[in-house]
Amino acid sequence: MFSSTMIPPFSPVLLGGLAARGLSPKILQPALRHAMKTIFQRHPDLFERLGHMGAPVYLIDPIDLPLAFVLYADVHNPDIEAVRSAEGVNACATIRGPLLSLLRLLEGRIDGDALFFSRELVIEGDTEAVLALRNTVDGVEVDVMEEILTAFSANLPRPLSAPMSAPVRLVARLGQGLFARAADDLSILHSALTAPLQRRVDAQAAQLDALKGEPARAPSKPRAKANQRTVREGREGAQV
């Protein structure tokens, strides 16, 4: 959900989230449940490592979307639900961060410790439960895009399933390339808009240092955007 404590990256995900703010999360529910069912069928041992915890519930909170996801990590019957608010959700832990960072963590494409230590992802609640979930995800290779494409192909009529598989994947890869280009453009725009403000902050810091009799600080370098990694990943995906 849009957060007042964490600033979301300026990305296509954020713009899409703002545009979809008025939509009900229930619209996503059939697709989410089908995706979870497909993933569980392809990876039946996905939540086995969490068996000793019973059926833990996690709140997955993308800060650049107007909703959150409740993950019911039941060993035999996992489920996921989209919610507008965390109110009333009895979760053992919350994982909060940009959507693309959460997806990279799910797919095991980035070190979870690095995300947590950099504060790109924030956890609340039972830390042990989050570590158990991370270890579970690390042990299973999940390709979110491939899972979605597989689920889509499985829902097509049988005569169309095989012929449409390749075109659907081609369109998906082209979409990844367009997304990467849009993310790159937004990153450039963000840097251009914030550069004057950063120069003013640096100038004020230098003035304060001068008043204190301290050497002037070196100008701050623009912060790297989280979506710049996404740009590289999107371009690599577009070349597949």
pLDDT at 231: 44
Query: What pLDDT score does 167 carry?
Result: 65
Tell me the domain boundaries of the chain.
12-142, 156-238
Least confidently predicted of 45-54, 169-178, 189-198, 231-240: 231-240
Q: Per-residue pLDDT tens for 81-136?
A: 999 887 888 899 999 888 888 887 777 666 666 777 777 888 888 888 888 888 77
Write out the E strands in the chain: 57-62, 68-72, 79-83, 93-97, 122-125
Average pLDDT over residues 138-146: 68
pLDDT on residue 156: 56
Select 12-142's CATH number: 3.60.150.10, 3.30.1050.10, 3.50.50.60, 3.40.50.1370.
Answer: 3.30.1050.10
Interacting residues of 79 by C-beta distance below 8 A, sequence separation 6+: 33, 36, 71, 72
What rounded mean pLDDT belongs to the chain?
75
